[in-house]
Chain A
């Protein structure tokens, strides 16, 4: 049986580069060994893949490089469990399995012509990075682009080089915040939902896209509602423990939906139709 029709069979890739983003987050740039496969690999912003360390297992990560930049696939991995611990040991040139793309994606077509307000927290910046870069690469399709990005401390901010670039751009606005005061931190201080309320963006012709720790998402959704954002103007991405990634193994369901195939991207309107089991 050809590999392509067995969804359980990972494609073998090689780690091209490892970037230490924060003390516990590394980004891995991966290319598939089969050049033809790499060339024909197609995905949409927001889709995920399962990374395999053969002998340890698989875990799901968003592909956080955009499809407009296909030199490699990037995955940002926070060390949290057994698989991520072993991924963190990978060095340039090491093999890795890639199974994907999996899941749905950000409805970027529907967002054309609208102002986009990204709200990211910690490692939750990973999926937002994909869509942000995609939109910057298709800049004329979108209105104002704003990124509110928070982390616990300055050293917990990912993508530091890009953050500098984004700060310098005049076609997007970047607001950085950390949870409390730190020496030499001259930007905002405060939790993301609180900063959001201070900034009070108008919901007019705007889509808010948020991802971060569950507690941040919960309060961010509340803040957006207070600011007048309607449920269909708010988009978030969910996580669940996933094994198969293709809606079979059963564990990532919320009611009738499987996060691995019906998500990870949901609008708040869609989430409110599901049983409250986040």
Chain B
């Protein structure tokens, strides 16, 4: 891999992104305030923030918070106003896209999406088309944060799963190595210089990274099932205020709602992110709610990520250890602590 590596100097990045912007939609992490970094479509002069995990994962680029699934138009029969017809049109559109500066946990999060939306029994044509049109450029983490626990859930700061092009921070820039053909194609750009003299430094940087696996999750799926009908969940979820922040910042959460929005005779069927932490999520028209309190909802969220999802998808946790739910939680619920307790009590 390293003999194909190229050097990307930090000061060449804005020019690279501008040129790529001619062919692709290019998203990169941009500093929007002192504490917030978001993936925005790159514009010249934007303040790139490549040395830290973004506040939100880039999942929105492939799975938008709001997207139109189809549009419809009613046609009234002028001869008979009681009679109407409806015409439905698919609105699928997938433009060539680059996500520049994802983290290994973000890229791996998309693999959870792939298992559900791309390879499952029913494929999601909207996600599938965008995924195919998207190239992921990942920056490996040489300085994990204290909320990071990717190594506990099967990933790692230098993990390249789900990435197309991998950047390792080195002096003066990044050493770029393709992980797929799609990623390799980007190396044609003039911003990438010969990099063989940086290959060793990149390797050393990767070897230096240390993030111990702090959680022992073997057998956790079974522990969760054993705890299902106990008071454990009441205690664990006591602090939770059902705000749903943990699900919105999560690179693997994909629950959605579908609603219609109409103006006059035209309208759109909209898909929006939803959250299993909300009461309305499972509320049935009859008034029955199978997960009526935060206790059942919290149990389902942890159960889904660490028991149901791995059972259904070859052991893959629905968690990449990015730690964003820990940072975003307004009542300081720490999923790592919950998982430790599951192992103790389960």
Q: A residues within 8 Å of B by Cβ?
A: 1, 3, 5-10, 12, 54-59, 80-81, 83-84, 91, 93-95, 97, 214, 239-241, 243-244, 246-256, 261, 275-278
Contacts and interface: CB of A to CB of B under 8 A. Distances in A.
A241 B86 contact: no
Contacts of B282: 240-241, 251-252
A275 B255 CA distance: 20
Specify the main secondary structure of chain A where it touches its partner.
loop
B69 A8 contact: yes
B285 interface: yes
B225 A275 contact: yes
B276 A241 contact: no
A1 B90 contact: yes
Nearest to B120: A247
Contact of A250 (B225, B267, B276, B285): B276
B289 to A, nearest CB: 9
Given A240-B282, A275-B228, A249 B88 contact: no
A195 B110 CA distance: 54
Interface residues of B, number: 54
A58 B117 CA distance: 21
Contacts of B307: 255-256
Given A9-B90, A253-B308, A59 B260 contact: no
B285 A251 contact: no
Given A12-B86, A91-B82, A94-B84, A250 B255 contact: yes
A276 B285 contact: no
Contacts of B198: none
B281 A93 contact: no
Q: Which of A5, A12, A243 has most chain B Cβ within 10 Å?
A: A243
B274 A249 contact: yes
B210 interface: no
B337 interface: no
B290 A54 contact: no
Interface string B87-131: 110101000000000000000000000001100111111100000
B92 A6 contact: yes
B288 A214 contact: yes
A119 B286 CA distance: 21
A54 B269 contact: yes
B92 A1 contact: yes
B59 interface: no
Interface of B: 69-70, 72, 74, 82-88, 90, 92, 116-117, 120-126, 225, 228-229, 254-260, 262, 267, 269, 274, 276, 281-286, 288, 290-291, 296, 300, 303-304, 307-308, 311-312
Contact of A55 (B82, B83, B262, B311): B262
B312 A256 contact: yes
A27 B88 CA distance: 25
Specify the main secondary structure of chain B where it touches its partner.
mixed
Contact of B90 (A3, A12, A94): A3
B255 A84 contact: no
A54 B267 contact: yes
Nearest to B285: A81
Contacts of A57: 258-260
Nearest to B116: A248
10 contacts: A5-B125, A8-B126, A54-B267, A81-B285, A246-B121, A248-B254, A250-B256, A251-B255, A252-B282, A261-B121
Given A6-B125, A8-B69, A94-B84, A253 B300 contact: yes
A11 to B, nearest CB: 9
B90 A277 contact: no
B285 A59 contact: yes
Contacts of B262: 54-55
Contacts of A239: 284
A93 B76 CA distance: 12
Given A248-B116, A248-B254, 7 more contacts: A7-B125, A8-B126, A54-B262, A244-B256, A249-B258, A256-B312, A275-B303
Contacts of A251: 255, 274, 276, 281-282
Q: Which of A80, A93, A251, A278 has most chain B Cβ within 10 Å?
A: A251
B82 to A, nearest CB: 7
Contacts of B126: 8
A214 to B, nearest CB: 7
A179 to B, nearest CB: 18
A249 B285 contact: no
Nearest to B265: A55
Contacts of A84: 285
- The 7 tightest CB contacts between A and B, nearest first, are A81-B285, A250-B255, A246-B122, A80-B285, A55-B262, A54-B72, A95-B86
Contacts of B303: 255, 275
Contact of B83 (A8, A93, A255): A93
A58 B258 CA distance: 8
Given A57-B258, A95-B86, A240-B284, A248 B124 contact: yes
